[in-house]
Each structure stands twice: as C-alpha cells, then as structure tokens.
Structure 1
Amino acid sequence: MSDLPLLAAALDSVSDPVSGRGLLASGRASAPRLEGGRADVIVDVAGLAAVDRTALEAAVRAALLAVPGVSEARILLTADRPQRRIIAVASGKGGVGKSTVAANIAVALARRGVKVGLVDADIYGPSQPRLFDAHDRPDAKDKIMFPVPTRWGVPILSMGQLIEPGKAIAWRGPMAAGALSQLVDAHWGQTDVLILDLPPGTGDVQLTMIQKHRPVGAVIVSTPQDLALIDATRAIDLFFKAEIPIVGLVENMAGYACPHCGEISDPFGQGGAEAEAAALGLPFLGRIPLARGIRTASDAGMPPAAGDGPDAAPFHAIAAQIETWLNPSASPVF
C-alpha cells in the first residue's frame, strides 16, 4: 500500500496559520512525494511573518517524520508560488452534463470576484472551447502554455484548442496523463482557483491528477437516475481512498418544464443525487433543471451563469456554497 495517503493526512493535521484548514486542504502545501525514506513537500509561506514560517516548517517536519517509514523530511519554503487551489468536477459517467456544470461554476465564481481558471481535463472529449466560444490556440513560452482568455473572465486551456476540430485523440493513458500536466502547469498568473473538468471514469487522467496535482476538493455531478448514481459513487470512492474531500453533489437535469403548458416532468427521476448525498453523509449542493435555455446558450458559447435569469440561478447558488467551502470565514452571498 502507498504511504502517500499517510503523508497527505500528516500534512492536513497541521493547520494553515491563515485559514485554519489543513495544509493540503488550504492549498498551503503541495502534494507530498516519497523517495525511499525521504518525504518531500513544498510549503507556500507567502504573507507569513518570519516567526510563523519557522514554526510552520517545524510543525510540518514533525508531522512527516511521525509517518512510519519516513526517516527524512525535505521541506522547500517558497513565497513566490500563488496559493492556487484545484477543485475537480467529476461524474464517473459521461452524458450527465458535467462539463456544462464545470463551465458555469467557473463563470459564477468569477462573477463573485474569485480569480478562477478552468482546465478541460477531458482529454479525449474536450468541450470547454465550445462552451466558452474560445477556440484560439494558446500561446507558449519555453514550452509552457498561456491560458486562453474568454469574454466571461475565466481563462481556459483545453486539448480542443490544440487539435483540429473533429479530429480524434487516439492516445494511450500515459500520453493523456502527460497532456493533463501540461494544461495544469501552465502560466496561470494570479489565478487562485482552478476548476478541473475531469473525463468520465477513474483512469490514468484521474490518477495523475491525484498524484501530481492534488485537488483540495471534488464536486460530483450526477443525474437523478440510478445508473448515473452507480458511476458517481465509484468516483466518490476514488476520492475517498485518496483522502480528497468531497465538496458536495450536484443533481443535473433534474426536472423539465414543458415550454407550452408549464407542466414539470422528471425524465431522469427525482432526488436521487440528494438521497445519495444524505446516505453518504455528504453535502448536497443543489439541482439544475433540464432546461432548453441552458442547452441553447451552452451550444452558442454563452454560459448561462454569465446572466442573471432563472437559468443562471442554480449555478450561482452552487458557486456560493463552493466559495464558502473554500473560505469558511466568508459569509455566503447568493
């Protein structure tokens, strides 16, 4: 069994002097690495007084050395790296609207003043360029890419911006995992939060994300139907095993209002994701209806969350909860 989960737990047992959260959960520390008996970790000490930096380094060293099998702890303190935190948006199953949810969460967070970027980690089926109407090829310097700005205040990077439209990406797992690293390790500037739109499943891309770009939390998207929930539960289990907190569940395509008579129907069932969240003891972030307006705006590259109508409201409510989760001391504003 890998010792990395034990190292991660050790780091999160040390509190961030600013937020009070664990060092990984707050983004203060990078994902730990283990080579032989030596544990390596990068700790961001930006904004901390010298005495606090010294105390934090000592606490991290003590926590790592307490992990069985660790005989040496190498800690790199840096004040230059921004405290960029990653929120993974996952589903476990395709076709549940995960990418649309990820795009609109990012836009809603940006409208709340969060410096947010989006990585389209769905390497084989990138859709964020269409959702944002951002098809330009990214610039690069020293083989490191710059994200493509969008009209909605959310810079993005996607394989869809690097390949010809309609061309299949026939890559083996390691190549896809390497592509993810290039997208995440880009010139994100002062971006504070990165939203990762993950591909369906629990394969190489997800494992690379956990091992190299450890998220501070994950949002799980599902439709209400049982088949989608089965796969969503698998995704939740992956994050549980990696000791990555679940921010909450989103129930997408929840109810359809007939545009002619106004009657509400539930083609995918009702309340399944909320019930699953309750059964697992996880937060339920809200429902997003199966609405024609969301579909047409998304196809046109205009995220509904960029507006203020009824199609935008569910995304703003969900984003408010995510912002509160990221910053527990902040008061939610809907």
Structure 2
Amino acid sequence: MLMLVDCSNCRTPLQLPAGARSIRCAICQAITRVADPRSLPPPLPHQQSHATPSTYNYHAPPSPYNHLPSFGQTPSVNGKKRAVICGISYKKTKHELKGCINDAKCMKYLLINKFRFPESSILMLTEEETDRYRTPTKHNIRMAMHWLIQGCEPGDSLVFHFSGHGSQQRNYTGDEIDGFDETLCPLDFETQGMIVDDEINATIVKPMPHGVRLHAIVDACHSGTMLDLPFLCRMDGSGRYVWEDHSPPSGIFKGTNGGEVISFSGCDDDQTSADTASLSKVTSTGAMTFSFIQAIERGHGTTYGDMLTSMRTTIRQTDVGGSSGGGGAVTSLLGMLLTGGSLGIGGLRQEPQLTASEPFDVYTKRFSL
C-alpha cells in the first residue's frame, strides 16, 4: 500500500510506501522525513510508481464527487460536457480578493446558457459552498481535477476555470525555460502549499485521450504557462503571431495522450497585478474573466485569434466597467464584478495569453467550448 506525502521542499506529491520513514523527491532531490506514517492521509490503492524527472506521479484516492452525474448521464449532440470552476476570495486574510467568486458565478452562467453545459455536470469550488468537498482547498482542487477527466471519451468537452492568486517558485529540474514553476494558490496554500504546474499538467493534460478537448481559463498572476503546455502563441499588437516552442529543455514531455488542450490565461508568466494583494482591488482577475466573457457576448469569439485580440483590447480600455451593450444577465453579472468596488482597469500591465498542446492557425480555428 502507498501513502501520499508532499515533498518538504517543492511540495510535489510523493508516494510513500507503507512503513517508510523517509523518501527522496525525484523532482528536487530533497529528502522528506515522516515521524509517524500513521498521521498521513489514508493509504492509496497500490500502483506502480517510477518518479523520475520525466514523470510526475500523483494518484488520487477515490473521488468524493462520485455522487455527481457521470459522463454517461449527461448526453449531448456533440459529446458530453463537464466543468470545474474555482473561485477563491481568501476572505479575512491579507491576500483577500473581491471579484473571484463573482468570476466563478459568471463563468457558470456562461457555460450553462451559452454553451449548454448541464448544471449537474459543473463542479463549483468556492468559499460560499456548504459541502466540505466543494471548498477550494488544495485537496479538493486536486480531487476536482481528477474528477474532471474521469471517464472522458472522444467528443467530450471539458472546462477548467480558476480565479484566484497565482505565484511562482524555483524549478530544480530544468524543465522551465525561465527557471520558475507556475503555481495556483488554493484557499489553504499558506499551510498546505501551492499546486505546481507540473502536477496540473500531469493530472489534466497528459492523460487527455484522443478526441477529447479541454479548455482552461486561468485568471491569476503568473498564469501564462500554468498548464505547462508546450506551445505559446506570441502575438504582437498588430495581431501577427508565432507559436513559440516551450517544450522543456530537459526533454520532459508536456503534451497529451492524443487529446487537445487549449488555455487562456490572464497574463504572461512574468506579469503580476499590483493590486492582487490589496483588500480593495482585484483588477487582474476581474479584468481577465470580464474580457473573456465579453468577447463571447459581443460576438468577437469566432476564432481563437479573435478571442485573444478582443480580450487584450478590452483590458487596455479604461471604461471596461461601463456599459458593454447587448444587456442580458451575463452583462449584469459582469457589471457587478467590475463596478462593485474600486476597480480601475486603466494602466493594467497584463496581456492575456494563449497556450496549446499543438499549434494551429488561430484565425481559422473556430472557438467553442
């Protein structure tokens, strides 16, 4: 039987054999010592593990979301749809954000009413949820990511949305061009640690089978390559673009098992919002979700290139919180998101990014969730 323990240095999940008192991390080589294995989480079913710098092993225990509908119970004409939406406000902490739960609500509304996602197949993780498995803790986000890809088949469409804090930490394996891993900050990140891009890639990117499509919308600082996808669309102000190969120098494979993964993110890896730690502003998170939904509502989301251009244009505008035209409930929700506080958008130094498991023509490939 194997048990799960986080590396004491880089927080990588490691599988500790029953009875073992220490384990060396294959990612950063640090040794993690466990005084009493009985204090660890419940044992996992035995699975072969070869944790090397070219593999990232995280095996979740049985999902607490098994009571939710399976793919087979949510049929649609073009395949089945499932989404995980995380919105974290870090309420009553020095990291508090104001717009993230609104982001989550807006995204859920969009998926249900625009893209016909069954409400029963959308898993919401916010601090407003009363179910203990639906608070956005590190453990629950991990479990939700595993639930997202369980049983997926060709034709299925998956969405992962995160609105909250993002960060970076030093990479020791040589698989990051800039030397830093990108990380998501769950609600309990100060005690339980962050979720590293290596784990996100291993959980919802690498297993993606042929014919399945995943879209990630990551609304956080340092989020440009949060899924560790191998290709980044580098677009200039005129709309010209090239696909940069971000395959790790170490040679670690970061692609899929035949499926397609595309990610929109709030900013480049080296960009931050000066207001993300403020108690009264959430410009980067609110602005990105707003621009994503507005592009779709205004009909600017025909292709991926149109989406990216529209999002960047919206964020550069100084009157984003004003009337967006067209009315409707989504517009009203977005108005609440950006006008409910001191949310000046002007002067933002962030540019939404597009990354993918494979390059494509962004101006001919049609966007759809």
What is the TM-score when the length of structure 2 is the normalising length? Answer: 0.30
Q: Which structure's relative contact order is higher, taking Cα pairs within 8 Å and 6+ residues apart? A: 1
TM-score for the superposition, normalised by structure 1: 0.32
Larger helix share, 1 or 2:
1
